[in-house]
Amino acid sequence: VNIESALRDALQTGGLELVYQPIFDATGRFARVEALVRGRGDYLRKVGPGAFIPVAEESGLIVSLGRWVLEEACRQMADWRERNLPVFDFAVNISARQLVQADYTDSVLQTLERYGIPPALLHLELTETTLMGDFSAMARIMKRLSEAGVLFSIDDFGTGYSSLARLSELPISTLKIDRSFVMKLLESEAAVGIVRAIVNMSRHLRLEVVAEGVERPEHIKLLLALGCHKFQGFYLSRPLSPEALEAAAFAGD
């Protein structure tokens, strides 16, 4: 067995599932959930998305995997909305290769419509390095989706080389500070400086900022002092199965 054939097989046989990691606001409420793909079988479970997503990207399987992820996330959101669960926006990770598919915009909007989900509930997370491809093509697609209401986040922010000029040309609503900076906050003045700079920049560009990788209560205290008001990380919640997320959402209401 190799990763590519296991993925191909999983896509055909229902061998993938989604878990959901909450993003919290400063009052401790859920602001959003991020959908994260997992393998159901032993092999892909052990490999993990950190290894199988790059294989999916290289092999082109990311296009059908990405379609499945969006479809499943929408199905789940529609189910929660119908049952009046207190769950709001949701975020899905996407790769450059998906974004530049000829029918990407239509397929996203049609999927949302099929499940009766307002486009403004969907955040598409792109990494900074994704934006190093065909910038003008990506900007055009993002603009069309954004005009329909879909929101964009830059994931792992601070690890790439995106210029402020380029960022300001894109319809982005959120910067997610890479967890490497958050995890070093308590030991490194440099990390504090970087987070401070990102928060200040996001204020000027009118962007929401989310800190990833919050693993300790002291992180939240420091992040609040730096002006960051949205948090995601193992200290607050691990990625949860739909059932566990339901329990947490109901408990908090």
Which residues bind to Na ion, rule: CB under 5 A? Answer: 155, 212
Q: Which of these segments, 44-52, 90-98, 165-173, 194-202, binds Mn ion (CB under 5 A)?
A: 90-98
User: Binding residue for ligand G (CB under 6 A) from 213, 220, 222, 230?
Assistant: 213
Picking from 235, 223, 217, the residue whose alpha carbon sits closest to that of residue 182 is 223
For 211, residues 6+ apart whose C-beta sits below 8 A from its C-beta are 176, 177, 182, 195, 219, 223, 228, 230, 231, 232, 233
Q: Could you say whether residue 234 binds ligand G (CB under 6 A)?
A: yes
Nearer to Mn ion, 43 or 68 (CB): 68
Interstrand relation of 89-93 and 30-39 (parallel, antiparallel or unpaired):
parallel
Question: What DSSP assignment string belongs to 90-102?
Answer: EEEE--HHHHTST
For Na ion, the closer of residues 178 and 246 by Cβ is 178
- The pattern of x and - marking residues 75 through 94 that bind ligand G according to CB under 6 A reads ------------------xx
- Residue 69: exposed, middle, or buried by beta-carbon count in 10 A (0-12, 13-18, 19+)? buried
Closest CA to 105 of 10, 171, 178: 171
Query: Which one of residues 6, 22, 30, 93 is an interface residue with Mn ion (CB under 5 A)?
Result: 93
Q: Is 195 in the site for ligand G (CB under 6 A)?
A: no
- List 174, 239, 245, 249, residue binding ligand G (CB under 6 A): 239
36 binds ligand G (CB under 6 A): yes
* Single residue of 57, 72, 125, 178 touching Mn ion by CB under 5 A: 125
Q: Which is nearer to ligand G, 126 or 226 (CB)?
A: 126
**Cβ closest to Mn ion, residue 212 vs residue 246:** 212
Minimal CA–CA distance to 245: which of 83, 6, 43? 83
Minimum distance from CB of 250 to Na ion (Å)?
25
The answer to whether 246 contacts ligand G (rule: CB under 6 A) is: no
Instruction: Give CA–CA dist 203/188, Å, rounded.
Output: 23
Question: Which residues form the interface with Mn ion (CB under 5 A)?
Answer: 93, 125, 155
